[in-house]
Amino acid sequence: MEGARFYYTNICRRAVFRVIFARMNREIEQYVEREIIPRYASFDAAHGLDHVRAVIAHSMSLAGYYDVEPDMVYVVAAYHDTGLVEGREHHHEVSRRILTGDDNLRRWFSADRIAVMGEAVEDHRASSARAPRSIYGRIVAEADRQIDADITLRRTIQYTLAHYPEMNREENFERCLSHISKKYGRGGYLRLWIPESDNARRLEAFRALIDDRNALRKAFDAIYDSLLG
């Protein structure tokens, strides 16, 4: 447990982060770390343990700007991708079902709070046509963005290697380009919800890289080669 807190603290250096964690119910944290977080070990590399822990850390950091319940922020972040156990297409809906169907959570949360957390988990998906219905949904959606060109390219390549192993380098690059352009490119569907986040600056930098096709291909090749050894 302390190891997990140390991990989150290393990701987020904001002092308020420690204050937020100090307000949490240790029983909830212990349950989630024991029963929920390990599920991510069976997902693809782009959505594994490092991903969920990063989303938790960023969510807890953003929570410091708002009057929210830390335990709810933590649970939403921890459950947000659990639905990947049934595939990616409807994982946000399955994640909501997993959270709202977890009777253990009723030890600590009312039915109304569980419903809000379920909606937040469902609303986190970047391609959703509607805005998140609550501040909890906006926080996890923003935290899940993790706009970093190197991380995003690596996750996209890893996903393609895992799910489309028949693709060669050129096909992998074309799929990567198509994905990041539709999501992060100018006019892409990605929306940001938390003004206190530095995602806007990161998004503009990423868009500049996408616009520079030569630089993008160089970055892609370096990551691709590192993953294939």
Q: Model confidence at 98, in pLDDT bands (50, 70, 90)? A: very high
| Model confidence at 11: pLDDT above 70 | no
Contact 39, 91 (CB under 8 A): no
Contact 43, 80 (CB under 8 A): no
| Model confidence at 185: pLDDT above 60 | yes
Q: Which region among 69-73, 129-133, 184-188 has the lowest average model confidence (pLDDT)?
A: 129-133
Judge residue 52's burial from the number of C-beta atoms within 10 Å of its C-beta, 0-12 exposed, 13-18 middle, 19 or more buried: buried
| Model confidence at 133: pLDDT above 70 | yes
Q: Model confidence at 145, in pLDDT bands (50, 70, 90)? A: confident
* H or E segment to which residue 81 belongs: none
CA dist., res. 171 & res. 187, Å (int): 23
What pLDDT score was predicted for residue 71?
A: 96
- The model's pLDDT over 189-218, given as tens digits with 9 standing for 90+, comes to 988 999 888 899 999 999 999 999 999 999
Give the number of residues written for the chain: 229
- The model's pLDDT over 31-83, given as tens digits with 9 standing for 90+, comes to 999 999 999 999 988 789 999 998 998 898 899 899 999 999 999 999 999 99
Q: Model confidence at 10, in pLDDT bands (50, 70, 90)? A: low
* H or E segment to which residue 49 belongs: helix 49-63
Q: Yes or no: is domain 2-145 CATH 1.10.3210.10?
A: yes
Distance (Å) of CA 163 to CA 137, 139, 159, 180: 28, 29, 6, 17
| Model confidence at 137: pLDDT above 90 | yes
Q: What is the mean pLDDT of the chain?
A: 90
What pLDDT score was predicted for residue 229?
A: 78
CA dist., res. 94 & res. 84, Å (int): 8
| Closest listed residue to residue 80, CA positions, set 131, 23, 36 | 36
Query: Which positions ≥6 away from 61 have C-beta within 8 Å?
Result: 12, 14, 16, 17, 20, 143
